Chains A and B, each alone.
Chain A
């Protein structure tokens, strides 16, 4: 009887593992097969000479370079806006908050996590209307607004990741710090946070991934089809997911659709690059903290 249950459980686990592996491989293969043939400099820069495009000397009309840069800027700006409050809120929940306040704040984070991204986009849009109504006539949708709304969207992931990373540290660790005569701040800064860096950066990677792929929020808060490189915080911008969405919805011929797949593959590579960088950062931070050589 017991063995049968174990067998069932094992089969289910194997099935789960196989299912995830298979789906993942299938999606990756599909995008790579469709996108790889068109993944070249022409896809990125169109007719513009690559160096001129990268330096911003000449605008790119036919390529996805502005969208790639737009997405990169958007992700970095979002991370910049979300990281500090997200991590601090997670630490607050894990180490400082007590009783009812903790419960209420956790609930608020859960609610925030449950907000659909289109609603968040709508919020950004309405925010601009409110600002205009309040007398700021020039307020308009832009990359800063998009990043702000995205930051709200991805912050819960960061809060939860930070909180669980700090909470899952062994309780003896903070006791050890206290017994050595470290102040609460010293233990947090020098031991507890570095020791949970892996989990915190994991949350950061998740947040960045989410910011890179989201389309609904930016659609209402400042993305456009053709604006060139983002010209500043108050400028409109292009983004890869929006380009993919737009192409999928409106393509005229087969080659345009192919460019959509090329953009999808580019977005995938960009995500991989961001994840890889974050991973390297995490390893460097951990090694430095631990003092291993």
Chain B
């Protein structure tokens, strides 16, 4: 199997408190990998280890190796000789639990990252903005309000904008931290449909609280508890039908 990320002996501490214990895991290139586990089990920290975002929190200390697939090769992202954190975060695009638009107009939210990260401006950037807003089904809803503040849109629209914003940077993979946790049912379904389509195009690692969602989207599962991965299984190993959620529930 081909991998998009390989983690070896990863230990992460915040202010001396260990959050991840000696984790070794591989993440498949094809199909959505879902990280399951109770609150505080270290799912988000593990996800953030893949784009080095843990470093932006106070008291971070980490050791171990994380390699991610970029331009056809596996590349170590920690230690000496690793690319800059900004480059890694561009390659591994992240969507957060609650929508996090910059306090700018929707248009600038889309254009500023393209300008700063890719150096794309003007008509090219606007064309790309339209393409990706269409991709998340948002264009028709917002095309007349592009200059309005991004925070004035509904939560679901904001989250789709965040997804479009990261996709417009054309990352190598997507990291999703409970992307539908703060959304209502209908908006969640829209995002889930999008993810199903995206799965074809790029590797996705997703943290999820919702067992129903995990069942719907996941191809590979990793169950976390107390900072360790305690169980890994594939979609095929899930029991069929209604028992799936009970099965997952019991695991947790």
Contact = CB atoms under 8 A, between A and B. Distances in A.
Given A175-B56, A291-B105, A181 B149 contact: no
A290 B90 contact: no
Interface residues of A, number: 21
Contacts of B96: 172, 176, 179
A176 B56 contact: no
Contacts of A178: 53, 56, 85-86, 89
Contacts of A292: 105, 147-149
A180 interface: yes
Contact of B166 (A180, A182, A290, A291): A180
B107 A179 contact: no
A290 B112 contact: no
Interface in B96-151: 96, 100, 102-105, 107-108, 112-113, 116-117, 147-149
Contacts of A180: 89-90, 113, 116-117, 165-166, 169
Contact of A179 (B94, B105, B108, B148): B94
Given A179-B51, A179-B89, A290-B103, A190 B116 contact: yes
A54 to B, nearest CB: 42
B86 A181 contact: yes
Interface in A137-187: 172-183, 186
Contacts of B86: 178, 181-183, 186
Nearest to B152: A292
Given A173-B103, A191-B102, A290-B149, A182 B116 contact: yes
A291 to B, nearest CB: 4
B87 interface: yes
Contact of A289 (B51, B89, B104, B169): B104
A292 B147 CA distance: 5
A211 interface: no
A290 B150 CA distance: 10
Contacts of A181: 86-87, 89-90, 113, 116-117, 169
A290 B100 CA distance: 15
Contact of A176 (B85, B90, B102, B116): B102
B84 interface: yes
A4 interface: no
B102 A173 contact: yes
Given A181-B90, A181-B169, A293-B147, A186 B104 contact: no
A237 to B, nearest CB: 42
A74 interface: no
B106 to A, nearest CB: 9
Nearest to A186: B116
**Considering the complex of A and B, which 9 residue pairs feature the smallest CB-CB distances, nearest first?**
A181-B90, A291-B108, A291-B105, A293-B147, A181-B89, A176-B100, A181-B117, A179-B94, A183-B86
Interface of B: 51, 53, 56, 84-87, 89-90, 93-94, 96, 100, 102-105, 107-108, 112-113, 116-117, 147-149, 165-166, 169
18 contacts: A174-B56, A175-B53, A178-B85, A178-B89, A179-B51, A179-B89, A180-B89, A180-B116, A180-B166, A183-B84, A190-B116, A290-B104, A290-B105, A290-B149, A291-B107, A291-B147, A292-B105, A293-B105
